[in-house]
Structure 1
Amino acid sequence: MPIDIPEELILLERAAVAEQRKALAEPYTEEAWAQWREAAAAFQAAVTAHAEAAGVSRYELEMAVKQAVLHAEPEGGGRSSASPFGAVLGARREAITLFRGQFGPGD
């Protein structure tokens, strides 16, 4: 039986993902990461409250929301191959490439 996902949870998780992207796109600052932590904490608190009120598994509810947000089908029904974390993964690959180029495999 599918879990009913309130729109509020979708919006809170989208906000947390957006703050995460902003925090990871720049060099570390406490302020940027604080915004991410606050958004994530608001989402987690809302998931806990809704799961208790609805009598559903907190874990299953959280996973359903994350599935809906992170793997949503784009408008028009087609599947998107773009990952919400693609920019982060690309930056990580670039950093590894630069590191290897600077220090080489045997250095």
Structure 2
Amino acid sequence: MSDFDFPDDLLELERAAWAAMQAGTLTVDQATAVQGRITAYAAEAGLDRYTVEMVLKKAVWHAG
């Protein structure tokens, strides 16, 4: 499940959203942008959106 090749723009959106969540400043617009890009990427790649979101969050939230 870790063999995803996420586009840079999607990774940047998720990283920014994660930083905003940690700072308590995440906006609805920001969250909507991330969800929209996740949905678009999943459709482009022929993947399940929920799986894409789970793997993306794991990659960004637990990067180290």
TM-score range, shorter chain: 0.7 to 0.9
Give the TM-score of the pair, scaled to structure 2: 0.81
Paired-residue identity, %: 43
CA shift at 1:8, angstroms? 1.4
Greater RCO, CA 8 A, separation 6+: 2
Asked if residue 56 in structure 1 is aligned to residue 57 in structure 2, the reply is no
Partner of 1:69: 60
**Partner SS, residue 69 of structure 1:** helix
CA shift at 1:21, angstroms? 2.2
**Partner SS, residue 5 of structure 1:** coil
Residues 19-38 of structure 1 show CA distances to partners (whole Å, capped at 9, x for unaligned) of 22222xxxxxxxx4xx5222
Structure 1 unaligned spans of 5+: 24-31, 74-107
CA shift at 1:3, angstroms? 2.2
Structure 2 unaligned spans of 5+: none
What stretches of structure 1 move > 6 A for 4+ residues in a row? none
**Partner SS, residue 3 of structure 1:** coil
